[in-house]
Amino acid sequence: MNEDIIKSDFESEQEDPNDFDFSLTFQQDGQRSLLLGQNINPEDQPYLFLGGNERTKSEKNAKEFLHQIIERISNNFNLDDIDQASIKSLLDEVIIAKEMKITVRLEVLAGSCVLFYSRIYHRPISIYDISSEIGCQPSKLTSICQEIGQVLERDFPKIDETNFIERYCNQIPILSLSPNISDNDNLKEKIDPNVRNQIIQETKQLVSYLSKSTTFSGKNPLVTVIGAIYWVSQIHEVKILIDDLEKITGFSKMGIRKRYKEISFFVLEFCKLLPWFNKDIKMISNQNFKFIVNHLAFLDWHKNRVDLRKKSSQNKKKRKQNNIDSFKEKNEVRIPKISQMPLIDQNSPFGFLEPFFDNLIQENHEKVNDSVIIGSDDDDHETGCYILSRENGKNFKKTIVEKLQKKGEK
């Protein structure tokens, strides 16, 4: 490769002077070298190249340009000086890291460092914010952040939805305490700060449980955050306009309404397990909803219950065969414990549910899981098997003694 070929190749490219290509490799001895349009053989000597159209930018100038991009992005998202210094330090680690090879625009590299830092230290900056700021596809940012994680030997963290709740609440006119937003002439009354804080806290609790549910896995988590804010606000009778949510987030009205309905039905499924639940959705009072939101520990119990049912249905045939074999050998049914329903604290608001379930279990019965309870009578060696289903507060009893005895005799 001679100098004329390199020069003609450079002149053929039509790029923005600020649209740099960043290509970084290293010599075998680990020493960095800056080679600008020199007569080199890339196969014999790995090199560091930073430059624009004229290919006269030095490494120092390129780093300064990267730092300027980081400052601009950080200022747009209200990151303080400490965060900016940390992001610049992270960028320097990426540049000087050994065995690093990447080709990308400098703006994309700087934006990827900002996104990587925000995920690690829980800053409310999404991949869509960086994408719109620097003009890059989100998938490209994700791939670069994953490569940065490999270089720094750190995993690229997943997004934490709870970090965006306060940010969105501050941008919503009726929930914001900022003078330039809350003093809007269109708002007839301001929200009570205590109610606002309660909405934020309850939304954080709700989002933390929704993120663990398989119902919302694979869906945009930020839309879930907006839907949760809208849902909790409706409980507290705070009217938020869908138009405001669309302007703030850029998500469509249809998507926000759809996620709001999904969250509503998701919580209603848990409400159906409570004795005082009214099956008519229109007749449910706000007080009942507030009770559920304030004590979302109940959702954990139900999630474990659903997981156990799925696992139980998958191993249904295997369990039946184990029951028959065990009955033949010992003339009694013994099923290994899979899991037990978490005990409910008597002091908690759900303490009244504990005696409700305990009355269904006799003293000589053994609790196997949340849907099957098996017991045996040692006096007459008769086996009693009770299958209890707690769905909707109803209990069903089914005796399978005769079937097991007939199969055991055979």
Please provide the average confidence, as pLDDT, over all residues in the chain.
63
List alpha helices for 153-296, DSSP H.
165-171, 179-182, 193-210, 221-235, 242-249, 253-271, 286-294
pLDDT computed for residue 407 by the predictor: 53
CA 152 to centroid of chain Cα atoms: 23
Q: Do domains 3-158 and 162-294 have the same CATH topology?
A: yes
Question: Tens of pLDDT along 56-110?
Answer: 345 567 778 888 888 888 888 888 888 888 888 888 888 776 555 556 777 888 8
Q: How far apart are CA 165 and CA 203, in angstroms?
A: 7
Q: Average of pLDDT values for 31-50?
A: 33
Q: How far apart are CA 143 and CA 3, in angstroms?
A: 34
The identity of residue 99, as a single letter, is: E
| 372: helix, strand or coil | strand
Phi, psi of 154 (to 5 degrees): -135, 145
Q: How far apart are CA 76 and CA 141, in angstroms?
A: 18
The identity of residue 209, as a single letter, is: Y
Question: Tens of pLDDT along 302-325?
Answer: 555 556 666 666 666 676 667 666
Residue 230 · residue 258 · CB < 8 Å? no
pLDDT computed for residue 15 by the predictor: 40
Q: Contacts by 180-188 with C-beta closer than 8 Å and gap 24+?
A: none
Q: How far apart are CA 157 and CA 330, in angstroms?
A: 52
Domain 3-158 has CATH 2.40.50.100: no
Lowest mean pLDDT among 20-34, 69-83, 288-302: 20-34
pLDDT computed for residue 160 by the predictor: 83
pLDDT computed for residue 336 by the predictor: 38
The reported pTM is 0.54
How many beta carbons lie within 10 A of that of residue 288, not counting itself?
Answer: 16
> In terms of Cα–Cα distance, which of 397, 401, 390 is closest to 362?
397
Q: How far apart are CA 173 and CA 190, in angstroms?
A: 9
pLDDT computed for residue 96 by the predictor: 72
- For tokens 């079937």, the residue is 403
* Residue boundaries of the structural domains of the chain: 3-158, 162-294, 313-409
Domain 162-294 has CATH 1.10.472.10: yes
The identity of residue 45, as a single letter, is: Q
Q: How far apart are CA 294 and CA 203, in angstroms?
A: 10
